[in-house]
């Protein structure tokens, strides 16, 4: 059974952004992001994973982010909290009741 949270615990203000692809004139596209909505959420850090690459140790931080139910989420969207960016990797309705969306996110560098 999925863990459900009290709606009062959605205490972080985030901006939901959608990708916008603009042709670059050479057959490719330039991707930018456009704000879609401002919403309340709960952010739960899950794990930090370090991978060694070329002598550096980049760290990937993953989070679970709870939102009120939305039916307009699609792949490629991200969430923003100030300068912090969270790429939405997967999302689901944790109890199939249409109350919340639970997003599995990866914090990315801007």
Identify which of 79, 71, 83 has the alpha carbon closest to the alpha carbon of residue 105: 79
Between these two residues, 7 and 52, which has the higher pLDDT value? 7
Q: Is residue 104 part of a domain?
A: yes
Q: Which residues pair with 103 in a beta bridge?
A: 65, 91
Residues 6 or more apart whose Cβ sits within 8 Å of residue 43: 12, 63, 64, 65, 81, 86
pLDDT, position 47: 86
Q: Is residue 3 part of a domain?
A: no
- The structure tokens listed for 2 are 């999925």
Angstrom distances, CA of residue 61 to CA of 49, 76, 86, 103? 6, 18, 10, 14
Q: Is residue 30 part of a domain?
A: yes
Q: Is residue 2 part of a domain?
A: no
pLDDT, position 80: 97
The enclosing domain of 20 has a CATH number of 2.40.10.270
Number of domains the chain contains: 1
Domain of 46, in residue numbers: 8-108
Q: In this predicted model, what pLDDT tens digit does every residue of 55-100 receive, in sequence order?
A: 666 667 799 999 999 999 998 999 999 999 999 999 999 989 999 9
Q: Is residue 65 part of a domain?
A: yes
Question: Which residue reads 């989070």 in tokens?
Answer: 63
Q: Is residue 102 part of a domain?
A: yes
For residue 1, pLDDT over 60 is answered with: no
Q: Is residue 43 part of a domain?
A: yes
């Amino acid at each position: 059974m999925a863990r459900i949270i009290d709606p009062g615990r959605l205490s972080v203000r985030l901006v939901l952004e959608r990708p916008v692809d603009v042709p670059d004139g050479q057959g490719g596209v330039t991707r930018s992001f456009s704000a879609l909505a401002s919403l309340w959420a709960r952010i739960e850090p899950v794990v930090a994973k370090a991978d060694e690459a070329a002598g550096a140790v980049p760290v990937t931080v993953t989070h679970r982010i709870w939102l009120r139910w939305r039916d307009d989420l699609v792949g490629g969207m991200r969430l923003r909290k100030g300068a912090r960016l969270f790429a939405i990797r997967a999302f689901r309705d944790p109890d199939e009741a249409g109350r919340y969306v639970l997003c599995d996110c990866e914090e990315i560098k801007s």
